[in-house]
Structure 1
Amino acid sequence: MHKGKSDSVSIFSSLPEDVVLKIASLLQVRDLCALGCCSRFWRQLCFSDCIWESLARNRWPLLSSFHFPSSSTLTHSPNFKKWRKLYLDRHVELGVRARAVLKFVEACSRSESLEVGDHLKAVDTLIGTSFGFEDVQRFLFDPQMNVLINLVGVHYCLTTLGIRGDNLVETLRTREISDRRVCVKWWKVGRWFYGFRMRDETHSRWVSLADLAAEDDEHVLGVLRRGTIHEVLRVQISVVGRTSTHWSHRLE
Structure 2
Amino acid sequence: MKQFEAIHNTLPEDVALKIASMLSVRDLCALGCCSRFWRELCGLDCIWEALTRERWPSLACFQFSASSSSSAPPTAPNVKEWRKLYIAKHNEVAAGAAATAKFVEDNSSSKSLEGGDYLKAINSLNDMKFGFKDVQMYLFKPELNVIINLVGLQYCFTWLRIPGDQLKEALQMSEIADRHVCIKWWKLGRWFYGFRMRDESYSRWASLADLAIDDDKRLLAVLLRGAIHEVLRVQICSEDQHTTPWSAQITQGHG
TM range (shorter): 0.7 to 0.9
Residue 182 of structure 2 contacts residue 236 of structure 2 at CA under 8 Å; is this kept in 1? yes
Answer whether contact 2:45 2:83 (CA < 8 A) is retained.
yes
Which amino acid letter does the alignment assign opposite residue 158 of structure 1? F
How far did residue 196 of structure 1 move? 1.2
Q: Which residue of 1 aligns with 2:84?
A: 85
Paired with 1:10 and 1:160, the residues of 2 have a C-alpha distance of 49
**Gapped regions of structure 1 (runs ≥ 5):** 244-252
In the TM superposition, what is the alpha-carbon distance from 1:65 to its structure 2 partner?
A: 2.6
**Mapping for residues 36-55 of structure 1, pairs under 5 Å:** 36-55=32-51
Number of residue pairs aligned between Structure 1 and Structure 2: 237
SS of match in other structure, 1:111: helix
**Structure 2: 5+ residue runs without aligned partners?**
243-255
Shift of 1:102: 1.0
Aligned to 1:248: none
CA shift for structure 1 position 51: 0.3
Determine the C-alpha separation between the residues in 2 that align with 1:145 and 1:133: 18
1:246 maps to none
Q: CA deviation at 1:58?
A: 0.3
Partner Cα separation in structure 2 for residue 193 and residue 238 of structure 1: 32
The equivalent residue for 1:212 is: 211
What is the match of residue 61 of structure 1? Answer: 57
Equivalent position of 1:249 in the other structure? none
Report the RMSD for the aligned CA atoms in angstroms. 2.2
Residue identity (%): 60
**Partner Cα separation in structure 2 for residue 235 and residue 185 of structure 1:** 6
Structure 1 runs of 4+ off > 6 angstroms? 66-69
Cα drift, residue 24 of structure 1 = 0.5
Q: Which residue of 2 aligns with 1:223?
A: 222
Distance 1:70 1:206, change over 3 A: same
| 1:92 counterpart letter in structure 2 | N
Q: Compute the TM-score of the two structures, normalised by the length of structure 2.
A: 0.87
Deviation of the 1:85 alpha carbon: 0.8
Report Cα offsets for 1:3-29 as digits up to 9, x if no partner: xx4244333443332321111111111
Q: Output the CA distance in 2 between the equivalents of 1:198 and 1:187.
A: 13
> Which amino acid is 2:197 matched to?
M
